Amino acid sequence: MKKVRGAKANRKREPVKLDPITFEIIKNKMLAAINEAGAVLVRTSGSEVVVTVREYTQSYYTADGHLILTGGGILLHVKSIAEIVKYLIQNYEHTIGIHEGDMFIFSDPYLGGMHPPDQTLVAPIFWKGKRVGFCASLTHIPDTGAIDAGGFCPRATDTFQEGLRLRGLRVMRGGERCEDVFNTIKGMVRLPDTVELDILSKVASNNVLIKRAQELIEKYGLETYERLSQELIRYSERLAREKLRKIADGEWRSVTYLEHDGIQPNLFRIQLTAKKTGDRLTLDYTGSSPQASTSVNATYHAAMGCAFAILAGRLFYDIPWNEGILKPLELKLPENCIINAKFPAAVSQGMPAGGGIVVFAVQDVLSKMLLASGEELRREASSVFGWSVHFALPVGIDQYGKFFVWPIMDECAGGMGARTYKDGVGTAGTIQTPKVRIGNIEEYEQRYPLLFFFRREEKNSAGAGKFRGGAGGELCFSLHKSPTKYVDVALSGAGIEPAIALGMAGGLPARQGRFIKIRKSNAGSLLQEGKIPQNLEEIQGEKEFLPPKGYTRIDEGDCFYLAWLGGGGFGDPIERDPELVRQDILDEIVSPEFAERIYGVVRRDGSKIDQPATAKRREEIRRERLTPAA
C-alpha cells in the first residue's frame, strides 16, 4: 500500500501531559536554544565587545511580554526587555502591526536597558499564523553617534546628547531587511559597518530562538508550550518564595557612594534598606541622592535590572531565571533620584555609575540577610564582589588608518568576595554577567595602536580578612604605531575615592580602583634596553591620578594604567591563619609589608613565620584600634 506523505503531520496532535520529566526536558531544550543562539551571535558579530567579551543576552517571552527564561548572559537587561516587549505590543500591534518575520530594534534606556549602547532586537514567534511568544537578543554596540564616542558620555547633560535612542524601528519585515532603516542607523554612528554587523548577528540569534521554539511546539504541541511558559514562571516564583521563607525576617541597610559626576567632584549617596517578611522582600532606596545634571544617573529599568541580576545570580542561582523570581519583590525608588532619573536626564553612564552602585548595595544587603539566617544559608553569604566599574575607552585612529573606539572591559574580571569559610577567587568575574570574559592581549595589540606591558592580578588589592577576598587586576599600555601620535581615553568609573567592594563581619573592603597617566615615561627607554616594565613602580615619569570620569589624552611616550577592584574580606584580618598569609606572600597576593601592617604577620629569614613577633604585632593592632582617633 502506498504511503501518503505528510499524513502524520496532518493528524491532530494531542497535547503532551506536562509531567515533571517533560517539564525538565522542554525547559532544558529552551536553555540549549538560548546557548546556541549565543554561539551564533558570537560567530556572526564583528564587535570586540561581543566576540571576545561576550556582552550579550538572549531570552524568551510570552505572547503578552512576560519573561519565560534567560541564560547566563548579561542578567542586568532581561527584565527590562520584558517592558520593551510590552511597549511593542501596546504601541505597534494595532498600528503598524507585528507580523511573522518582523524584528524591531530598541536602544532607549527609558524603555529598557541600562544605557543607549545596549541595543535589543525583539522578534515575534509565530505558529500557524498565531503569535505565540517573543524572543530577544541584546548586545552592547561600540558606538551610538553620541557627543562622546563609544556611548559612555562624560560630557552629556541630557539624553539628547547620548546618541541613538531607538524605540522599536522595524529592521526586518517579513524576513527581509529594511534597507532604509539600516542605512539610517549606519549614517548616525561612527562605526557603521560594525554596528550593522552587530544588528545582523542579533537577527541570526533570534532566528535560532524562533526555529527552536517552533520545533518544540511541533513536537510537544502549542498547548503544552504555552502551559510550560506559564508554569516556568510560577515554578520560579514558588521556589523563590520558599527560599525567602528560610531567611530570617528583619531589616538590613547598606549605604554606598558614587563620586564625581564627570564635571564636578560631587558625591552621591545610594541608600538601600532591605526588609524581608515571610516570603516577601522589599528593596527601599529612600534616602538616595537626587538625580545628577550629568550622565551618571540610572533609570528605573536599570535599577530594576540590577536588582534582578543580583537576586538571580546571588540568591536564586539554582532557580530558572525568569519573571517569577521578581514576584516576591517590591522596589521602592524615590522620584527624580540618581537611580530613578526622569526624562530627559542623561543616563549613558548609568552603568557603571548609578546602576553599578546599586549592584554593590544589593550584594551587601543580601549577604547580611544570609548571615543572619542559620548555618546553611550563612555559608551562602559572601562579601561584595569587585566588578566592572572602571571603564576606559581609548578613541582615535588605529595603525591601519581607521577610526576606532574600544571599551576596555578587562575589569569584568573582578575579585570574588570572601566567603564565610573560604577565600574569594581572584579575578573571578561578576555575578550579574556570568558569561562575560576578558580578551587576549595579543588580539588587543593586533586590533589597536597600543602596546601592553602587563595585565595581571594586583598585589594588595584583595579585601583583607580572616578569609580574604579575591584579587583585582591591573594593566598598563602605551601607544604603538599610532599615526596621530595620540589617543583620547574616556573615563567612566566609580569606587576610586570611596571603597565600594565592602567587607563583612570585620573584613576590610577591597582596594579602590585607579586611573593613572604617566607623562613622558621611561617605558620606551626600558624597551630599547630589552626590558619590559613589570609593574607601575618601574615606570618613571610624571604620574597623574585621574578622576573617575572625564577625558584624558595619551600622547606618544605616555603610559596609561588601570587597576580594578578585588573582593571584600570576611572576618577580622588578625584572625587569619598566619600560614595562609605566608602563602599569599609567596603567591604575590600580598606584600610582606602589607602582611605585617594589616594581618599582623611577621616573617623571619625571608619565609618562615616568626610566631612570637606575630603574636606581639597582633596585640599591638588590637591596642591601636582602641586608641581614639586624633
> What gap in Å lies between CA 69 and CA 324, rounded to an integer?
10
Residues 587, 604: Cα–Cα separation, whole Å: 17
H/E stretch holding 133 reads strand 130-140
What is d(CA 496, CA 562) in angstroms, rounded to the nearest whole number?
A: 11
Q: What is the Cα–Cα distance from 75 to 61, expressed in whole angstroms?
A: 15
Tell me: pLDDT of 260 over 70.
yes
**End-to-end alpha-carbon separation of the chain, Å?**
101
Question: For 442, how many CA atoms within 13 A lie in the half-sphere containing its CB?
Answer: 0
Question: Residue 626 burial by CB count (10 A; 0-12/13-18/19+): exposed, middle or buried?
Answer: exposed
Q: What residues contact residue 129 under an 8 Å CB cut-off, 6+ apart?
A: 100
Report the pLDDT averaged over residues 164-189: 98
Pick from 575, 357, 587: nearest CA to 460? 587
Rounded-to-integer distance, Cα 387 and Cα 384, Å? 9
User: Please, are residues 120 and 138 in contact by the beta-carbon 8 Å criterion?
Assistant: yes
Provide the mean pLDDT of the chain. Answer: 94
- Extents of the domains making up the chain: 14-238, 382-571, 578-626
Residue 11, pLDDT > 60, answer no
- Mean pLDDT value across residues 560-574: 97
**Is 191 within 8 Å of 328 (Cβ atoms)?**
no
SS (H, E, C) 337-354: ECCECCCCCCCCCCCCCH
User: Does residue 3 carry a pLDDT above 50?
Assistant: no
546-565, pLDDT tens digit by residue?
A: 999 999 999 999 999 999 99
Q: What gap in Å lies between CA 66 and CA 168, rounded to an integer?
A: 18
Give alpha helix (H) positions in 221-353.
222-246, 300-310
How many CA within 13 A on the CB side of residue 416? 18
pLDDT tens digits for range 464-481? 999 999 999 999 999 999
Does position 493 have pLDDT exceeding 90, yes or no? no
Type and span of the H or E element at 299: none
pLDDT for position 219: 96
State pTM to two decimals.
0.94
Cell 541597610 belongs to which residue? Answer: 253
Contact 450, 479 (CB under 8 A): yes
pLDDT for 7: 40
Q: Which residues pair with 609 in a beta bridge?
A: 603
Given this model, what pLDDT does residue 496 score? 87
Dist. CA 178–CA 180, nearest whole Å: 6
By CB neighbour count within 10 A (0-12 exposed, 13-18 middle, 19+ buried), where does 526 fall?
A: middle
**Could you give the C-alpha distances from 506 to 198, 234, 361, 371, 416, in angstroms and in order?**
46, 39, 17, 13, 17
Higher-pLDDT residue of 352, 595: 595
Nearest partner of 38 among 56, 21, 22, judged by Cα: 56
